[in-house]
Amino acid sequence: MVQYNFKKITVVPNGKDFIDIILSRTQRKTPTVFHKGYAISRLRQFYMRKVKYTQQNFHEKLSTIIDEFPRLDDIHPFYGDLRHVLYNKDHYKLALGQINTARNLISKIAKDYVKLLKYGDSLYRCKSLKVAALGRMCTVIKRIGPSLAYLEQIRQHMARLPSIDPNTRTILICGYPNVGKSSFMNKITRADVDVQPYAFTTKSLSTAVLFFLDISGSCGYSIAQQAALFHSIKSLSMNKPLIIVCNKTDLQPLDGISEEDRKLVMEMKAEAMKTVIGQGSEPTNEEGVLLTVSTLTEDGVIAVKNAACERLLNQRVEFHVALPKPRDQKERPACIPQAVLETKAKQAAEKEKRKTEKDLEDENGGAGVYSASLRKNYILSNDEWKEDIMPEILDGHNVYDFIDPDILLRLEELEREEGLRQEEEEGDDFEMDGQELSPEEQEALAEIRKKKSMLIQQHRMKKSTAESRPVLSSLGLDPSLAINRARSKSRGRKRERSVDRREGDDGDAMDIDDNQASKKLRLRSTSWSRSRSRPPSEVVPGEGLKDSAQKVNAIKLAKKSVLKRNKNARRGEADRVIPTLKPKHLFSGKRSIGKTQRR
């Protein structure tokens, strides 16, 4: 059952109201307070959030309009034709297309300005970019103002349309005003008739059309005018049951009209007969095509109702399979390709799948009744032995107590076999002896072994120390100095007592071997000389400074730049904490009587 409730479509605001709604929501839902001391990254995020939030609101509102309005290609053809008659589907699609284009433009504007805001270098620049972004979005909405107003008018008109199910059988009553349509409806139904100038279309509807004709002329329209209306709308009711209903026969009977009017009525009857022929009935069957009725005296009301219902029920879709007539006695069987036959056979074989234990359980009574056999997969010489019952007592003895008398011999055989297999596995280590190789393979093997030994020697030389390398000696150099230097650097520095060099020693002082002490000091000063630090003015490669003078100047400027920061007790460049100048616990409350020197 296809029913559409067009009253639930959201109201479409005009361009000015649309902008006011979105901007006020942005103002309410996003932060509005910031300080000049904020970092530039925080200012960028502040304005980027406003631009993104505005774009999201525009996108949601426009998407709601596009999604809630019915698409002509998705709804029932009856409603599609009704939209075309009422609003011209080209204008309708154009308006929705402009809404969609505006949505895409706003998304693109927001994306571009967010990129620009990422590189905003000041508060003024970020604020200007935000204003420009919102301004361009509002300009796009102003340009689609006529489309929004057009869609709002369509929404209001669609909300007033009656709800019609196109899949049910329907009787359509048409004609000029005051010809008796509402009176006929009040007689056959309990509906409260709503008189509205609805658009007329019966395409894609299962309907029976009743054209009411006032033959008395009391409605204010002559029979000629009513006949002209009938001929103008008959194309809309093609291939549908059509009945001509002559109303108000209590004022003027059908036989009492003039010849000209009778001729017009007969022409209308002939057009209605074409629908009878189109439904497959005989052209001589004129019953139910031209009927007379009087809604005042209720004469013929039930007959018109029954005729319309019968014609409507007879209009059912029937499918006929066309079979060709045989032209001769030759048999022409169906020609099915071999590949198709093979595919069908394969599909039939796949359907006959192997039965599982679950299938067998369902076939044999289900759970609790069927017990799965664990012996059916035993591999025995005879399948009949699978279900045999194994005896427990045989010849008065327990079967499970039987012991083979040769069990120890069999155990020794198994252990011997296991030992032989272990020896074979140990002797199967792969080692190329070269006896079973050809001369070319033996040469290749010798080359590989030579290269392998060279690689091993090179690796050992790299890992060896200067003491074990015979490189210096092979070059004719003495490696003893290098070895001693390496040993002296590797040995830890010991603390020794310094020589007492006091002037004016008296004769009671201990004699010291001056030559030995001076020699020891000289050796220590040469071998354990202290390393010197690099001066601050020395330029290190990669610092980007030209010479030492430029580096000294840079160091002075760096020290000067941090003076103010150090004076304010800042931790670094990003420390922008505003301290509490007047602590509340020292400046609040009443001052008691007494001294205030502590303050």
Tens digits of residue pLDDT in 211-233: 899 888 888 888 899 999 988 88
Confidence of residue 308 (pLDDT cuts 50, 70, 90): confident
Q: Is residue 73 part of a domain?
A: yes
Q: Is 19 helix (H, G, I), strand (E, B) or coil?
A: helix
Q: In terms of C-beta distances under 8 Å and separation of at least 24 residues, what long-range contacts does 173-177 make, across chains too?
A: 173/210, 173/212, 174/200, 174/209, 174/210, 174/211, 174/212, 174/233, 175/211, 175/212, 175/213, 175/214, 175/226, 175/229, 176/214, 176/219, 176/220, 176/221, 176/225, 176/226, 176/229, 177/219, 177/220
Residue 466, pLDDT > 80, answer no
Residue 505, pLDDT > 50, answer no
Tokens of 531: 């390393």
What's residue 1's pLDDT?
45
User: Under the phi-then-psi rule, with left for phi > 0, alpha for psi from -120 to 50, and beta for the rest, what region is 175?
Assistant: left
What's residue 110's pLDDT?
95
Q: Is 374 helix (H, G, I), strand (E, B) or coil?
A: coil
Residue 141, pLDDT > 50, answer yes
How far, in Å, CA of 116 to CA of 133, rounded? Answer: 10
Average pLDDT over residues 397-414: 83
Beta strand pairing call for 397-398 and 170-174: unpaired
Task: Decide which of 316 and 26 is more confident.
Answer: 26
Confidence of residue 507 (pLDDT cuts 50, 70, 90): very low
Residue 132, CA atoms < 13 Å, CB-side half-sphere: 13
Average pLDDT over residues 21-46: 90
Q: Which residue from 308, 312, 309, 299 is spatially nearest to 183, judged by alpha carbons?
A: 299
Asked if residue 121 and residue 174 are part of one domain, the reply reads no
Rg (CA), the chain: 55
118, 44 Cβ separation under 8 angstroms: yes
Asked if residue 270 and residue 179 are part of one domain, the reply reads yes
Tokens of 279: 């439904």
Q: Return the minimum-mean-pLDDT range out of 132-136, 254-258, 471-475, 579-583.
A: 471-475
pLDDT tens by residue, 167-186? 778 888 888 888 888 888 88
pLDDT tens by residue, 8-25? 899 999 999 999 999 999
CATH label of the domain that carries residue 30: 1.20.120.1190
Domain count, the chain: 2
Task: Decide which of 564 and 103 is more confident.
Answer: 103
How far, in Å, CA of 377 to CA of 374, rounded? Answer: 7
Asked if residue 219 and residue 87 are part of one domain, the reply reads no
Measured N-to-C along each axis, helices 123-143 and 89-117 cross at an angle, to the nearest 10 degrees, of 180
Residue 245: in which H helix or E strand, if any?
strand 242-247
Asked if residue 184 and residue 148 are part of one domain, the reply reads no
Q: Return the minimum-mean-pLDDT range out of 49-53, 227-231, 289-293, 588-592.
A: 588-592
Asked if residue 188 and residue 143 are part of one domain, the reply reads no
What's residue 396's pLDDT?
82
Confidence of residue 383 (pLDDT cuts 50, 70, 90): confident
What's residue 280's pLDDT?
57
Residue with tokens 């102003």: 142
How far, in Å, CA of 243 to CA of 311, rounded? Answer: 9
β-bridge mates for residue 213, sequence order: 246
Residue 520, pLDDT > 60, answer no
Q: Is residue 524 part of a domain?
A: no
Q: Is residue 421 part of a domain?
A: no
Q: Is residue 200 part of a domain?
A: yes
Strand order in the sheet with 290-292: 170-174, 207-214, 242-247, 290-292
Q: Is residue 409 part of a domain?
A: no
Confidence of residue 540 (pLDDT cuts 50, 70, 90): confident
Q: Is residue 156 part of a domain?
A: yes
Asked if residue 241 and residue 117 are part of one domain, the reply reads no
Asked if residue 176 and residue 73 are part of one domain, the reply reads no
Residue that finishes a domain, picked among 271, 289, 315: 315
Residue that finishes a domain, picked among 160, 190, 206: 160
pLDDT tens by residue, 414-455? 898 988 888 877 665 555 555 677 888 888 888 998 999 898
Q: Is 242 helix (H, G, I), strand (E, B) or coil?
A: strand
Residue with tokens 């993104």: 52
pLDDT tens by residue, 343-363? 988 888 877 777 788 888 888
Confidence of residue 103 (pLDDT cuts 50, 70, 90): very high
Q: Is residue 514 part of a domain?
A: no
Q: Which residue from 259, 173, 253, 184 is spatially nearest to 224, judged by alpha carbons?
A: 259
Confidence of residue 461 (pLDDT cuts 50, 70, 90): confident
Q: Return the minimum-mean-pLDDT range out of 28-37, 296-305, 314-323.
A: 314-323
Q: State what percent of residues in the chain have pLDDT above 70.
A: 79
Q: Return the minimum-mean-pLDDT range out of 54-63, 347-356, 580-589.
A: 580-589
Q: Is residue 203 part of a domain?
A: yes
Asked if residue 241 and residue 189 are part of one domain, the reply reads yes
What's residue 317's pLDDT?
54
Asked if residue 153 and residue 25 are part of one domain, the reply reads yes
Confidence of residue 194 (pLDDT cuts 50, 70, 90): low
Residue 75, pLDDT > 70, answer yes
Asked if residue 150 and residue 187 are part of one domain, the reply reads no
Residue with tokens 């019966």: 202
Residue with tokens 């309410």: 28
β-bridge mates for residue 545, sequence order: none
- CA 433 from chain centre, in angstroms, equals 66
Asked if residue 179 and residue 151 are part of one domain, the reply reads no
Task: Decide which of 482 and 313 is more confident.
Answer: 313
Residue that finishes a domain, picked among 294, 315, 336: 315
Residue with tokens 């001693």: 484
Q: State what percent of residues in the chain have pLDDT above 90.
A: 22
Expressed as residue numbers, the domain containing 148 is: 15-160
Average pLDDT over residues 40-66: 94
Q: Which amino acid is at 213?
A: L
Average pLDDT along the chain: 80
Residue 528, pLDDT > 50, answer no
Beta strand pairing call for 170-174 and 242-247: unpaired
Asked if residue 218 and residue 180 are part of one domain, the reply reads yes
CATH label of the domain that carries residue 276: 3.40.50.300
Confidence of residue 511 (pLDDT cuts 50, 70, 90): very low
